[in-house]
Structure 1
Amino acid sequence: MKLHSVKELLAGDKLLQEVKVKGWIRTFRSNRFIALNDGSTINNIQCVVDFEKTPEDTLKQLTTGAAVSITGAIVESQGRGQNVEIQVSEIKILGKADPEEYPIQPKKHSLEFLREKAHLRIRTNTFSAVMRVRSALSFAVHQYFQKNDFYYVNTPIITGSDAEGAGEMFRVSTLDPKNPPLTNDKEIDYKEDFFGKETNLTVSGQLEAETYAMGLGKVYTFGPTFRAENSNTSRHLAEFWMIEPEVAFLDLDGNMDLAEDFIKYIIKYVLDNCQDDLAFLEQRLAQEEKSKPQAQRSEMTLTEKLHFVLDNNFKRVTYTEAIDILKNSKPNKKKKFNYIIEEWGADLQSEHERYLVEKHFKAPVILFDYPAKIKAFYMRLNEDGKTVRAMDILFPGIGEIVGGSQREERFDVLKEKIDAMGIDEKELWWYLELRKFGTATHSGFGLGFERLVQFATGMTNIRDVIPFPRSPQNAEF
């Protein structure tokens, strides 16, 4: 007999048919009613057991968390909350779950507790909903780029370059940490290492993606990146996924157009295809908001935030204009900001970004033309000599979600910037060489995937939107 999913059966077109379904028991009450879930949907299907015809040994094993195979007829439900149910004719225990030991019981668990049970937390409504939305977002990312003639490029995870110049990278080495080979200067001799040089886990696939854009035209990467930043906040992970398109012959204006169109496409995809999960997550977020002080509560529901992005044109504002707005804002004048804006050149914080989006413009914002001193070396220098063709996209609730730029395509200017920042030119010889052979205007951006999942699901801690979070002192699973 064909195996059906719970999602399929709840669609209601199998009425009076004999069906088979397999899943995990969420609850079993009155020795009669099983709430069964197989992960295909947020919703359970009720399975009605005839306890008089079911062996007592089997009944004892019908506990929360047990895996079962159920065969029976789909009938109209007599109870509230569901349209159909299964009248069970046969039930098999596939995997027992000792109720004394199984930690995911049918009650509210804290997110902190569930992080300690990362191997089992997917059995909860919250995490199954989040991960289905994550999967849908991932599919939409690839669909958008493939529909728009981008080529998917797998950039290296092991690299000898630091794309951001931040230096917070995880070293990759096969040398004996207790007795590494040393040079005459008593430094570690990386020539003796596996790759013959010092190598790390990548912080970005951008630089390598640029090389492929300059031959294929339009490319994107979507893969894991790593930051060895010793930060234990709700916004940081040591391992996360990045979406990074790079496009030849595209300037900053075109880059902003691309980013806005891309984001709206994937938000619409989730709204169209994850309605049940979003409804659950919205309800969950509303309950969470009630526990906050009034001043900290969001003015928008989850779906209102998503429509706020989808239905509004992104407001494009220069960094200089934004600084003027912030300097003259009430929170700044009354010193309500934690970081007071006093002069041009300040690095904007999340509170400033959110003020611009939520209070001043009441729309998603794209800030552009940032001071060169607070941006990366590869961004194109403007004619004023002090700003670069950078852009950040700001969202409600979280602030920056996208960072991008028109890349510096001029050899002499890029070389001068690399030298000024003390970056080893030998490590980026190939990146510089791109500017010697058929150089052209090109642009791209980076979108941290987990930030996007956070926004789409309403989850407040980034560790709850990735299956197995990696953070300082945490690599348990």
Structure 2
Amino acid sequence: MRSVSIKELLTGKQLLQEITVNGWVRTFRSNRFIALNDGSTLHNIQCVVDFEKFDDAILKHVNTGAALKITGTLVESQGKGQSVEIQVRDIFVHGGADPEVYPIQPKKHSLEFLREKAHLRVRTNTFSAVMRVRSALAFAIHQYFRDNGFYYFHAPIITGSDAEGAGEMFRVTTLDEKNPPLKEDGTVDFKEDFFGKETNLTVSGQLEAEAYAMALGKVYTFGPTFRAENSNTSRHLAEFWMIEPEMAFYDLDANMDLAEDFIKYVIRYVLDHCEEDLKFLETRLLDEEKTKPQAERSEMALIEKLKFITDNNFKRVTYTEAIEILRNSSPNKKKKFQYLIDEWGADLQSEHERYLVEKHFKCPVILFDYPAKIKAFYMRLNEDGKTVRAMDILFPGIGEIVGGSQREERLDVLKQKMAALDIPEEELWWYLDLRKFGTAVHSGFGLGFERLVLFATGMGNIRDVIPFPRTPQNAEF
């Protein structure tokens, strides 16, 4: 008999039919009521056991965490809290779980404790809800780009270039760490390494995506990226996923149009398809907020915050305008900002970005035309010679969520910018070739997937929205 998901059973469409369901025991009460969950939904299905019909040898294995196959009849429930239940005819124990050592017991566990049990934490309501929302967001991303004529492009994970100029990359090598080959000057001779040069794990697939956009028109990457930044904060991961579309013949305005449309689409998708999980996560967040000081509490509930994005037009503001707003703002004048804004050219912090979104404009904001000195070399220089065609999208509660730009398509200007930053032309000869052969206006942006999931679920720590987080001193699973 085909196994039916609990999500399907709870619709009641198979009432009075004999069915088979597989799942894990959440609770077993009074030797009679099994709460079974299979991950398809937040809700459990109650399975009613006539214990006199079952051998104790079977029932002793029915503990929290055990995996069971249950066959029985779906009937209307006589109890409260569920509309249907299963009258159990047969129980097969796939695998037991010793209640003395099984760590995910039916009680409240701290998020810190559950991070130590990352292989089992998805069996809790919180993490199963988060991961279903994460899955829905990933599907929506692919659906949006497919519907809008983009081609999915797999950027290399091993790279010889540093797209961001960050300098904080994980090295990839097969050299003997205790006795590497050395040059005459005592430095490591990477010509003897596997790839014949120094290579690292990528921080971005953007540069390679640009090459494919200049042939296929519109492409996007969606894959893992890596930063060896020693930041043990609630906003940083060493391994995370990035969505990076690149579009030929798009200027910055078209880039901003696409980014706004894209992000509204994926958030609208989870509002439409993850209502049950979002309501649960909203309740969890409201309970968590009650423990915080009033000043630290969010002004919007989770679903309201998501609709704030889908229902508002994004306000477009130049960096220069934003600096004037921030410089003259009450928090800046009263020195309540941790980082005071004194002059043009300052690199905006999350507190400034959130002020613009939550206090000043009261809608999502796109900042554009940033100072060239604080942005990457590949961004197109404006005619003023001091700003670039960069844009960031700012959200409530999180600040920057999307960063992008119109790319520098002029060979001579790109060479000048690389020279000013001591980026050797021979390292990016192929990138310069794109400006020699059929160059054109083009643009793109990057969205950190975990930041999007963090925003959509209301979780407070980025470690809790990725299955197995990689952070400093932590690669346990």
Q: TM-score range by the shorter chain?
A: over 0.9
- Deviation of 1:81 after TM superposition, in Å, equals 1.1
Q: Secondary structure at the match of 1:231?
A: coil
Question: 1:326-364 CA deviation, whole Å, 9 max, x = no partner?
Answer: 011111111111111111000000000000000100000
Mind listing any 5+ residue stretches in structure 1 that lack a counterpart?
none
User: Which residue of 2 is the match for residue 136 of structure 1?
Assistant: 136
- Deviation of 1:196 after TM superposition, in Å, equals 0.2
- Are 1:383 and 2:380 matched, yes or no? no
User: Which residue of 2 is the match for residue 84 of structure 1?
Assistant: 84
Question: 1:349-391 CA deviation, whole Å, 9 max, x = no partner?
Answer: 0000000000100000000000000000000000000000000
Matches within 5 A, 1:226-237: 226-237=226-237
User: Which residue of 1 is the match for residue 475 of structure 2?
Assistant: 475
User: Which residue of 1 is the match for residue 432 of structure 2?
Assistant: 432
Q: Secondary structure at the match of 1:233?
A: coil
Matches within 5 A, 1:56-455: 56-455=56-455
d(CA) in 2 for partners of 1:119, 1:465: 13
- Deviation of 1:424 after TM superposition, in Å, equals 1.9
Kindly provide the amino acid, as one letter, of the partner of residue 109 in structure 2: H
Q: Secondary structure at the match of 1:71?
A: strand
Kindly provide the amino acid, as one letter, of the partner of residue 450 in structure 1: E
Kindly provide the amino acid, as one letter, of the partner of residue 193 in structure 1: D
- Deviation of 1:421 after TM superposition, in Å, equals 0.5
d(CA) in 2 for partners of 1:252, 1:375: 15
Question: 1:125-154 CA deviation, whole Å, 9 max, x = no partner?
Answer: 011100000000000000000010100000
Question: 1:150-204 CA deviation, whole Å, 9 max, x = no partner?
Answer: 0000010000000000100000000000000011111100000000000000000
Q: Secondary structure at the match of 1:286?
A: helix
Q: Which runs of 4+ in 1 moved over 4 A?
A: none
Q: Secondary structure at the match of 1:390?
A: strand
Kindly provide the amino acid, as one letter, of the partner of residue 50 in structure 1: D
- Deviation of 1:425 after TM superposition, in Å, equals 1.5
d(CA) in 2 for partners of 1:260, 1:68: 46
Question: 1:236-274 CA deviation, whole Å, 9 max, x = no partner?
Answer: 000000000000000000000000000010001100101
- Deviation of 1:57 after TM superposition, in Å, equals 1.8
d(CA) in 1 for partners of 2:419, 2:287: 53
Question: 1:259-295 CA deviation, whole Å, 9 max, x = no partner?
Answer: 0000010001100101111111010000011110001
Matches within 5 A, 1:24-35: 24-35=24-35
Kindly provide the amino acid, as one letter, of the partner of residue 300 in structure 1: M
Kindly provide the amino acid, as one letter, of the partner of residue 212 in structure 1: Y
d(CA) in 2 for partners of 1:336, 1:57: 66
Which segment is superposed worse, 235-244 or 47-56?
47-56
- Deviation of 1:101 after TM superposition, in Å, equals 0.3
Q: Secondary structure at the match of 2:52?
A: coil
- Deviation of 1:11 after TM superposition, in Å, equals 1.1
d(CA) in 2 for partners of 1:75, 1:406: 60
d(CA) in 2 for partners of 1:330, 1:82: 52
TM-score in terms of structure 1 length: 1.00
- Deviation of 1:434 after TM superposition, in Å, equals 0.6
- Deviation of 1:229 after TM superposition, in Å, equals 0.3
Kindly provide the amino acid, as one letter, of the partner of residue 454 in structure 1: L
d(CA) in 2 for partners of 1:358, 1:49: 53
- Deviation of 1:58 after TM superposition, in Å, equals 1.6
d(CA) in 1 for partners of 2:102, 2:345: 54
Kindly provide the amino acid, as one letter, of the partner of residue 320 in structure 1: T
Mind listing any 5+ residue stretches in structure 2 that lack a counterpart?
none
Q: What is the aligned-residue identity percentage?
A: 81
Kindly provide the amino acid, as one letter, of the partner of residue 236 in structure 1: H
- Deviation of 1:80 after TM superposition, in Å, equals 1.1
Kindly provide the amino acid, as one letter, of the partner of residue 447 in structure 1: L
d(CA) in 2 for partners of 1:355, 1:11: 45
